């Protein structure tokens, strides 16, 4: 799913098919040029790969153990879900500080419904998401229709829902949850079919994803050629396809050699594809970018800014509720301290992933990559035993460096 | 022969991929007004940035001598210390601060970090008298009009003991009266021995005030012409001479001949606005548009003339989805049927388009691509089931890139990187793509170069020829006279007259534009209503 | 060059990249197989936070004792955030550590990760704070937490001479620890078991009326929060009348309480500080006791606790039963966890030198 988004805007840097020189050096040259022109998209992917490599060596091979790769997904699932919503909010030109508290509140609500009122977990999950939507609409109302800055409204929300969580839980943790609910965060795809050394369904999914991705690449290339746009030289195209297949297969085989695809990854993958598609191809997505890029111009172009902003916050509310449930499922408890500082991690992920303070730029995939950079950093530093205090210093520096690099890169491009 | 205060020799400046300046020579004599003209992208701004130290010494080639000394400015402060002050097109004043605070910003009258207010105020009053601005030093900038702000900028330059004043398009945002005042002031400063470099698009201004003019084209200095040998003489060159050198070709057809529309709706009234009255959004006691009525037909171009503050933009924006001000009364009719235009979406839905005068603030998403900007207003129509047809979008954008001659390598170029003229073409494309019946164009050629202007006039003519009803709001009377079929005039929120192209002259229009205390004229040709 | 050859080469690249990464196949699920750099194995130690002196000392002690016993130690602090601690424990399991010693941030939130540890066959020692709602807790090393509370309560009773003067009445305010810490309850119940009779007889009066545990808990054992609450109590209920005693369960909170008292004039002239209890014998509080401000603290020799945890871990790894002295009190909701309870000691101005004799602090640290 990643490659389709990444390749999308690379058009300007591509060379016409067949005109590329045939030596290896020229090929590297082309690759480097494509890289330089798309620093925004590729910079963080490269950082992520470098980080993985660094910690793989440093931890003596523990980093890429199937079990640890699975852990990274489980440990960051809820932050990534929040980061996706946060990216959209930031693209729209707003900010949401309340997501941590809201995640705590909805997780607590689900806990109370399931544990104290013996509600089936599916219903509790649904009601939690509904609460998230209602809260999102509430905040969206103040921001879009009353015109209070989102910073203020969601700051209020942060306090409000933190307090509401404590009231709801009476300061105590509520647990344990039914199996089904725990599986949101703890579960994996079931094992089916013959006993191979790998998790069969996961391998199957990996192959499917490869096939879909290659088909997409091929279709895009064909369309681009039909419209006489610039495309990658055929050999670069092959190399790109090969890289995609290698990455997807390596990832799925790694997961398959542990317990398979975790449910969290399914949720994340679904969100990434759906939200990425909406932001790229739907009118509403385009309107979100336009509002963030120039609100006044978008309004004068007939964009219904109030309704769009409202929807963005409803979406954020639902995602925050989902993250809250994933987190509660992971703890197997609704706790009053849940979600503390999640908003800052989600915001950091969005900015590392290429969002801009003034709105209008960024991709959903970028948010996920930004979140993974932070997550891998956390996991890797914990693996090699760097203490929490030093970890915070390093994370602060990484955030600064990522955004600083982006600013520098933009300035360079402009001059 | 007067000695040269500034000599720039062989100035060369490159950016990645572009050579912006290529061996430019320019010499300014002491106490002269030296105009620099050229199309956008000719290198005027870059040249001034080199001179003022924005591009520091070492990043460009060539030699600068000021008062005979070679110069190597590291930054703006260094050039200001030598007495070279540049006033940018976008004014650099802080609206929340007072005139005095702005004038001495970064240059405070202070001892050991403590500001001496008394000397600041005395000095400010002296400077304000010198530029002929009758305001108190404590007045906040936000309360001043653009013309007065421009004077404050000049006062600020004088406070820095300016010897060479550089003005970048100083009258771009000014009405004719303020422009005249400003040009007069430039003359006075020259008489006090302050040299001046005037960057301008407006050829009549150059002829009015400059002593010498240097024409730049494509990063080279083409020619330096003498406008007049001494102050007070009439100009010795014509617009045609300058234009020829700026564009490098003869502009035999600057304004296109009007192509008549002969379709089935020829002569049919498209848009009628009646008794339109709007108050200021904040200062609600002020009526900004007062009982205005007008109509425009299919295939017709209606001009709206007026000085700054006449209420033209306010009229257009309030009709277009009530995007400005507080609605009081009035109706909008399309083909004789009254329609609601309470929101922009409704107005767009009825086939009305408004192309803003301020494309950077209200027109474009500068960080997005050409293609996405062009499609924005028509997205719902171009989409199926809420999904944008990416290829269709690209096709549309490519079509406009071709037909509007938008100079960009691909339609995926960021709009913010285009020149003003090309940006204007993108905004126009966006609204033409919305397939409107009525197009309101607000200052469609502001801040763009001569070549692009001619192209835009052709586009306007063709829109009318296709049967669209076009309203053009402009501050340049020659432009209105060049492209419009009828010209309505506004003054102080009211319609004061409407003239056919044949009977209109610049003088006649100006009389109507400055007329006060008369009853409103109904540009629909019926007696005015709402006179009170 | 033909396209076919390019394609073949590309496929080779795919294979080269993909296979080694995933060649290991499915995990056996057994832990501890891989990690053989130390002869005795590696111990993962999860502690709550580095923002408290006490946990830093605990961490250092446990690490050095395990290392002395021939183990490798991996110590990580969760900065009081549950999700951090879960991730850290998961990472320890992933690295194939052989034993986990866990001082929980929130004892009820670790059920799932303990299940993972059990699946990987890794024994778990619950350190100081009880791990709740999980059967995968092998033993519990702790101080007798009820006893801590009893010592605090008894100290107040003795200091105010309630037994000797049955007719006199004193004002007291109560503080409890963090609501998400299981020990909070034991401390509070211990203290109240001593104080309750006097509250009922009216010899002790809580003017604020706040005597239920959920009214008086202090988030994260935060001294600042305790100080704010004390400020508010003094403003609301003690503008004229003196306050005679404060039950504070932890030194960090006692310091906050004392600051609030000082700000309204206690501790100067003829207004002595009320009796203020504490726990953990933190250096700041010991100095405060010597200076005559805080009255009492409860000393729990955390080196003893560390020694106990190491002994338990050593036993578990050698396949023996760890030594315990309580198999009844600590029900974690799923099972009664076998525990070894260490005896706490009450410290005040009369016996603080004990801390120096036992080399818990040096003379210079206390009086310097």
The per-residue pLDDT for C39 is 62
Task: Judge: A238–C78 Cβ closer than 8 Å, yes or no.
Answer: no
- Mean local confidence (pLDDT), C308-327: 92
Residue % of chain C over a pLDDT of 70: 89
Report pLDDT digits (tens) over C168-191.
999 999 999 988 778 899 999 999
> In terms of CA atoms, which chain A residue is nearest residue C19?
A250
Q: Is the pLDDT of residue C36 over 80?
A: no
B529 has a pLDDT exceeding 80: no
Residue of chain C whose alpha carbon sits nearest to that of A342: C83
Note the pLDDT of residue A290.
92
Does residue C30 register a pLDDT over 80?
no
Distance from the A388 Cα atom to the nearest Cα atom in chain C, whole angstroms: 6
Per the prediction, chain B carries an average pLDDT of: 85
Could you tell me which residues come within 8 angstroms of residue C119 by beta carbon, excluding any fewer than 6 positions away?
Answer: C29
Residues of A in contact with B412 (CB under 8 A): 9, 11-12
Using a CB-CB distance cutoff of 8 angstroms, which residues of chain C are in contact with residue A387? Answer: 50, 76-77
Q: Is the pLDDT of residue A201 over 80?
A: yes
Residue A382 has its nearest CB partner, among C10, C24, C87, at C87
Among A223, A286, A414, the residue with its CB nearest the CB of B372 is A286
Which residues of chain A neighbour B343 with C-beta distances below 8 Å? 302, 304
Contacts of A301 in chain B (CB under 8 A): 344, 348, 376-377, 430
Chain A nearest-CA distance from B408, in A, is 11
Q: Is C25 on the interface with A (CB under 8 A)?
A: yes
> Which of B15, B379, B430 has the CB atom closest to A283's CB atom?
B379
Nearest CA in chain A to B392: A227
Q: B511 versus A151: which is more confidently predicted?
A: A151
DSSP per-residue string spanning B251-320:
-TTSSPPPPPP-STTTT-EEEEEEEEEEE-SSSTT-EEEEEEEEEEETT-EEEEEE-TTSSHHHHHHHHT
Q: What are residue C46's DSSP bridge partners?
A: C76, C102
* Domains of chain C from N-terminus onward: 42-137+302-342 (3.40.50.2300), 145-300+349-354+362-367 (3.40.50.2300)
pLDDT of residue A127: 97
**Residue A338, pLDDT score:** 86
Question: Could you tell me if C77 lies within 8 Å of chain A, comparing CB atoms?
Answer: yes
Q: Which residue of B has its CA nearest to A220?
A: B391
- Of A336-345, B25-34, B448-457, least confident by mean pLDDT is B448-457
Whether A19 shows a pLDDT value over 50: the answer reads no
Dist. CA C277–CA C290, nearest whole Å: 14
Q: What pLDDT, on a 0 to 100 scale, did the predictor assign at position C228?
A: 87
CB contact under 8 A, A360 and B410: no
pLDDT tens column, B376-414: 988 888 888 888 888 888 889 999 998 888 888 888 888
Question: Which of the four pLDDT bands, split at 50, 70 and 90, describes residue A53?
Answer: very high
Report the pLDDT value the prediction gives residue C18, as an integer from 0 to 100: 47
pLDDT level of residue C126 (50, 70, 90 thresholds): very high
- Domains of chain A (ranges; CATH) run 38-187+262-414 (1.10.3470)
Stretch B198-225: mean pLDDT: 86
CB contact (8 A) between residue B387 and residue A300: no
CB contact under 8 A, A337 and C180: yes
Cross-chain residue pair A250–C7, CB shorter than 8 Å: no
pLDDT value, residue A135: 97
What confidence tier does A16 reach under pLDDT thresholds 50, 70, 90? very low
What Å distances lie between residue B90 and A297, B167, B173, B418, CA to CA? 19, 11, 9, 18
Res. A415: pLDDT tops 60: no
Question: Which residue among A9, A11, A302 places its CB closest to the CB of B345?
Answer: A302
Output B155 or B175, whichever has higher pLDDT: B155
- The mean-pLDDT minimum among A49-53, B113-117, B488-492, C275-279 falls in B113-117
For residue B43, is pLDDT > 90?
A: no
Residues of B at the A interface, defined by Cβ within 8 angstroms: 15-16, 320-321, 323, 343-345, 347-349, 354, 356, 361-368, 372, 375-377, 379-380, 383, 386-388, 390-391, 394-395, 409-410, 412-413, 417, 430
CB contact under 8 A, C22 and A382: no
pLDDT at B153 over 80: yes
Minimal-distance CA residue of chain A relative to C2: A235
pLDDT of residue A24: 63
Determine contact: C32 vs chain A, CB below 8 A. Answer: no
Token code pair at residue B438: 């009525």
Choose the weakest-confidence range: A24-33, A157-166, B366-375: A24-33
Alpha-carbon distance of B449 to B250, in angstroms, equals 15
A300 CB neighbours in chain B (<8 A) are 320-321, 323, 344, 354, 356, 362-363
Kindly state the percentage of chain B with pLDDT values over 70. 93
Percent of the residues in chain A that have a pLDDT greater than 90, as a whole number: 51
pLDDT at A21 over 60: no
Taking CB atoms and an 8 Å cut-off, how many pairs form between chains A and C?
A: 154
**Interface B:C, ≥3 CB–CB pairs < 8 Å:** no
| Weakest mean pLDDT among A410-414, B6-10, C58-62 | A410-414
CB nearest C17 (choices: A185, A238, A250): A250
**Cα A395 vs. chain centroid, distance in angstroms?**
18
Which of A14, A216, A302 to probe by mutation at the B interface, max B CB count within 10 Å? A302
> ipTM of this predicted complex?
0.76
> CB–CB of C53/C283 below 8 Å?
yes
For residue range B217-261, what is the model confidence (pLDDT) as tens digits?
A: 878 888 898 888 777 777 788 877 887 787 665 444 578 888 888
**Which pLDDT score, from 0 to 100, does residue C31 have?**
39
Q: DSSP labels for B492-506?
A: TTEEEEEEEGGG--H
Residue C34 pLDDT greater than 70, yes or no:
no
Q: Is the dihedral of CA A71, A75, A76, A77 positive or negative?
A: positive
Average pLDDT over residues A281-297: 91
Cβ-Cβ contacts under 8 Å, A289 against chain B: 365, 368, 372
Q: What is the mean pLDDT of residues A239-259?
A: 90
pLDDT at position A6 is 38
Rounded average pLDDT over B282-286:
78
A neighbours by CB contacts (3+ pairs under 8 Å)? B, C
Would you say residue B54 has pLDDT above 90? no
Per residue, the 3-state secondary structure of chain A, as one string, reads: CHHHHHHHCHHHHCCCCCCCCCCHHHHHHHHHHHHHHCHHHHHHHHHHHHHHHHHHHHCCCCCCCHHHHHHHHHHHHHHHHHHHHHHHHHHCCCCCCCHHHHHHHHHHHHHHHHHHCCCCHHHHHHHHHHHHHHHHHHHHHHHHHHCCCHHHHHHHHHHHHHHHHHHHHCCCCECCCCHHHHHHHHCECCCCCCCCCCCHHHHHHHHHHHHHHHHHHHHHHHHHHHCCCCCCCHHHHHHHHHHHHHHHHHHHHHHHCCCCCEHHHHHHHHHHHHHHHHHHHEHHHHHHHHHHHCHHHHHHCCCCHHHHHHHHHHHHHHHHHHHHHHHHHHHCCECCCCCCCHHHHHHHHHHHCCCCCCCCCCCHHHHHHHHHHHHHHHHHHHHCCCCHHHHHHHHHHHHHHHHHHHHHHHHHHHC
Give the model's confidence band at C339: pLDDT under 50 very low, under 70 low, under 90 confident, else very high.
very high
Which of A81-90, A405-414, B33-42, C42-51 has the largest mean confidence? A81-90
Query: What pLDDT band is residue B267 in, cutting at 50, 70 and 90?
Result: confident
Tokens of A95: 């900010």
Neighbours of chain B (3+ CB pairs under 8 A): A
The predicted model gives B193-200 an average pLDDT of 90
| pLDDT score recorded for residue B530 | 38
Compare CB distances from C27 to A66, A176, A182 and report the shortest one's residue.
Answer: A66
Q: Which helix (H) or strand (E) covers residue C346, if one does?
A: strand C345-348
Q: Is the pLDDT of residue A229 over 70?
A: no
Q: Which of A176, A241, A382 sits opposite C111 (nearest CB)?
A: A176
Which chain A residues are within 8 Å of C24, Cβ to Cβ?
66, 257
Say yes or no for a CB contact (<8 Å) between B383 and A297.
no
Question: Which residues of chain B lie closer than 8 angstroms to A223, CB-CB?
Answer: 391
Q: Which residue of C has its CA nearest to A170?
A: C214
Residues of C in contact with A104 (CB under 8 A): none
- Cβ of B368 within 8 Å of Cβ of A289? The answer is yes
- Whether residues C50 and A382 touch (CB distance < 8 A) is answered with no
Local confidence band at A20 (pLDDT 50, 70, 90 cut-offs): very low
Give the residue, B290 or B284, on which the prediction is more confident. Answer: B290
Is the pLDDT assigned to residue C363 strictly greater than 80?
yes
Given A71, A257, A327, which is nearest C91 (Cβ)?
A71
Interface contact A303-B366, CB threshold 8 A: no
| A:B CB pairs within 8 Å | 92
Chain A closest CA to B61's CA: distance in Å? 17
Closest chain A CA to residue B374: A301
């Amino acid at each position: 799913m990643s490659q389709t988004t990444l390749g999308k805007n690379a058009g300007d840097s591509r060379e016409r098919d067949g005109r590329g020189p045939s030596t290896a050096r020229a090929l590297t040259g082309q690759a480097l040029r494509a890289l330089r022109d798309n620093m925004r998209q590729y910079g963080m992917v490269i950082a992520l790969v470098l980080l993985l490599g660094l910690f793989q060596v440093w931890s003596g091979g523990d980093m890429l153990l199937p079990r640890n790769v699975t852990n990274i997904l489980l440990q960051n699932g809820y932050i990534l879900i929040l980061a996706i919503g946060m990216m959209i909010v930031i693209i729209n030109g707003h900010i949401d500080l309340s997501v941590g508290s809201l995640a705590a509140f909805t997780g607590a609500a689900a806990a109370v419904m399931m544990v104290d009122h013996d509600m089936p977990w599916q219903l509790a999950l649904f009601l939690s998401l509904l609460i998230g939507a209602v809260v999102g609409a509430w905040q969206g109302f103040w921001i879009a229709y009353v015109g209070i800055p989102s910073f203020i409204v969601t700051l209020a929300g942060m306090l409000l829902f933190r307090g509401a969580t404590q009231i709801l839980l009476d300061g105590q943790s509520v647990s344990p949850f039914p199996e089904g609910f725990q599986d949101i965060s703890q579960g994996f795809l079931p094992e089916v079919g013959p006993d191979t050394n790998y998790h069969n369904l996961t391998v199957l999914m990996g192959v499917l994803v490869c096939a879909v991705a290659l088909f997409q690449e091929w279709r895009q290339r064909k369309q681009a050629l039909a419209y006489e746009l610039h495309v990658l030289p055929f050999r670069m195209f092959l190399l790109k396809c090969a890289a995609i297949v290698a990455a997807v297969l390596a990832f799925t085989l790694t997961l398959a050699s542990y317990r398979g695809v975790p449910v969290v990854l399914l949720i994340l993958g679904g969100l990434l594809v759906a939200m990425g598609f909406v932001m790229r191809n739907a009118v509403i997505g385009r309107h979100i970018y336009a509002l963030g890029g120039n609100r006044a111009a978008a309004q004068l172009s007939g964009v219904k800014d109030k309704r769009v902003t409202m929807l963005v916050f409803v979406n954020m509310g639902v995602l925050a509720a989902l993250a809250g449930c994933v987190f509660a499922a992971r703890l197997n408890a609704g706790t009053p301290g849940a979600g503390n500082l999640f908003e800052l991690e989600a915001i950091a992920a969005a900015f590392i992933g290429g969002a801009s303070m003034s709105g209008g730029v960024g991709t959903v995939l970028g948010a996920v990559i930004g979140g993974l950079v932070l997550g891998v950093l956390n996991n890797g530093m914990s693996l090699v035993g760097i203490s929490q205090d030093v970890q915070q210093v390093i994370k602060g520096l990484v955030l600064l460096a990522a955004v600083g690099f982006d600013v520098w890169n933009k300035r360079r491009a402009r001059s | 022969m007067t000695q040269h205060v500034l000599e720039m020799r062989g100035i060369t400046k490159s950016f990645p991929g572009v050579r912006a300046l290529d061996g430019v020579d320019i010499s300014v004599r002491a106490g002269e007004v030296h105009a620099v003209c050229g199309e956008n992208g000719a290198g005027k701004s870059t040249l001034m940035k080199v001179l003022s130290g924005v591009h520091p010494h070492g990043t460009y080639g060539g030699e600068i001598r000021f008062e005979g000394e070679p110069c190597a400015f590291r930054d703006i402060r260094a050039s200001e210390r030598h007495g070279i002050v540049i006033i940018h097109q976008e004014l650099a004043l802080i609206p929340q601060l007072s005139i005095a605070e702005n004038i001495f910003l970064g240059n405070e009258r202070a001892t050991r970090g403590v500001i001496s207010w008394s000397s600041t105020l005395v000095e400010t009053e002296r400077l304000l008298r010198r530029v002929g601005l009758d305001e108190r030093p404590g007045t906040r900038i936000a309360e001043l009009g653009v013309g007065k702000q421009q004077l404050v900028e000049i006062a600020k330059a004088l406070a820095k003991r300016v010897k060479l004043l550089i003005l970048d398009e100083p009258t771009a945002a000014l009405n004719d009266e303020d422009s005249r005042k400003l040009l007069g002031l430039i003359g006075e400063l020259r008489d006090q021995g302050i040299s001046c470099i005037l960057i301008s698009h407006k050829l009549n201004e150059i002829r009015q005030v400059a002593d010498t003019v240097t024409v730049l084209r494509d990063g080279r200095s083409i020619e330096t012409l003498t406008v007049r040998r001494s102050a007070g003489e009439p100009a010795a060159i014509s617009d045609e001479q300058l234009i020829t050198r700026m564009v490098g070709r003869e502009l035999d057809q600057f304004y296109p001949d009007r192509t008549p529309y002969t379709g089935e709706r020829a002569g049919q009234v498209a848009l009628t606005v009646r008794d339109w009255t709007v108050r200021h959004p904040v200062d609600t006691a002020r009526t900004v548009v007062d009982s205005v009525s007008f109509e425009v037909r299919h295939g017709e171009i209606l001009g709206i003339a007026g000085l700054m503050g006449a209420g033209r933009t306010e009229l257009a924006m309030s009709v277009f989805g009530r995007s400005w001000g507080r609605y009081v009364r009035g109706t909008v009719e399309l083909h004789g049927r009254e329609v609601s235009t309470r929101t922009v979406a409704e107005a767009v839905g009825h086939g009305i388009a408004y192309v803003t005068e301020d494309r950077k603030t209200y027109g474009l998403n500068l960080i997005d691509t050409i293609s996405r900007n062009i499609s924005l207003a028509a997205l719902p129509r171009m989409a199926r089931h809420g999904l944008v047809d990416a290829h269709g979008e690209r096709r549309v954008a490519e079509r406009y890139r071709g037909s509007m001659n938008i100079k960009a390598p691909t339609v995926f170029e960021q709009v913010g990187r285009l020149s003003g003229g090309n940006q204007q073409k993108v905004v126009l494309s966006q609204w033409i793509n919305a397939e409107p019946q009525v197009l309101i164009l607000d200052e469609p050629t502001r801040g763009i170069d001569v070549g692009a202007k001619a192209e835009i006039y052709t586009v306007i003519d063709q829109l009318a020829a296709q049967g669209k009803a076009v309203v053009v709001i402009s501050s340049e009377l020659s432009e209105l006279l060049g492209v419009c079929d009828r010209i309505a005039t506004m003054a102080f929120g009211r319609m004061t007259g409407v003239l056919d192209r044949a009977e209109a002259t610049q003088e006649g229009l100006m009389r109507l534009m400055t007329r006060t205390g008369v009853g409103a004229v109904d540009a629909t040709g019926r007696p005015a209503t709402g006179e009170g | 060059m033909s396209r076919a050859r390019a394609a073949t080469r590309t496929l080779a690249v795919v294979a080269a990249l993909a296979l080694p990464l995933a060649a290991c196949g499915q995990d056996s699920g057994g832990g501890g197989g891989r990690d053989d750099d130390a002869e005795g194995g590696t111990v993962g130690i999860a502690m709550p936070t580095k923002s408290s002196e006490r946990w830093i000392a605990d961490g250092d002690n446990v690490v050095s004792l395990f290392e002395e016993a021939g183990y490798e130690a991996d110590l990580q602090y969760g900065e009081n955030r549950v999700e951090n601690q879960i991730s850290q424990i998961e990472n320890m399991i992933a690295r194939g550590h052989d034993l986990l010693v866990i001082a929980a941030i929130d004892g009820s939130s670790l059920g799932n990760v303990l299940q993972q540890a059990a699946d990987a066959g890794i024994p778990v020692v619950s350190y100081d704070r009880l791990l709740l709602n999980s059967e995968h807790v092998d033993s519990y090393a702790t101080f007798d937490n009820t006893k801590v509370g009893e010592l605090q309560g008894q100290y107040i009773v003795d200091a105010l001479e309630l037994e000797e003067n049955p007719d006199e009445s004193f004002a007291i305010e109560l503080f409890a620890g963090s609501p998400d810490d299981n020990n909070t309850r034991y401390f509070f119940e211990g203290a109240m078991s001593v104080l309750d009779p006097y509250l009922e007889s009216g010899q002790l009066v809580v003017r604020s009326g706040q005597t239920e545990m959920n009214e008086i808990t202090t988030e994260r054992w935060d001294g600042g929060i305790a100080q704010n609450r004390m400020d508010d109590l003094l403003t609301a209920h003690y503008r004229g009348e003196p306050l005679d005693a404060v039950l504070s369960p932890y030194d960090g909170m006692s310091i906050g309480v004392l600051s609030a008292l000082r700000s309204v004039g206690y501790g100067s002239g003829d207004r002595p500080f009320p009796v203020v209890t504490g726990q953990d014998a933190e250096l700041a509080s010991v100095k405060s006791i010597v200076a005559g401000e805080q009255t009492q603290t409860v000393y729990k020799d955390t080196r003893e606790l560390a020694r106990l945890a190491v002994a338990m871990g050593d036993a578990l790894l050698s396949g023996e039963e760890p030594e315990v002295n309580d198999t009844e009190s600590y029900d974690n909701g799923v099972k009664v966890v076998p525990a070894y309870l260490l005896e706490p000691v009450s410290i005040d101005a009369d016996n603080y030198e004990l801390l120096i004799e036992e080399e818990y602090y040096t003379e210079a640290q206390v009086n310097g």
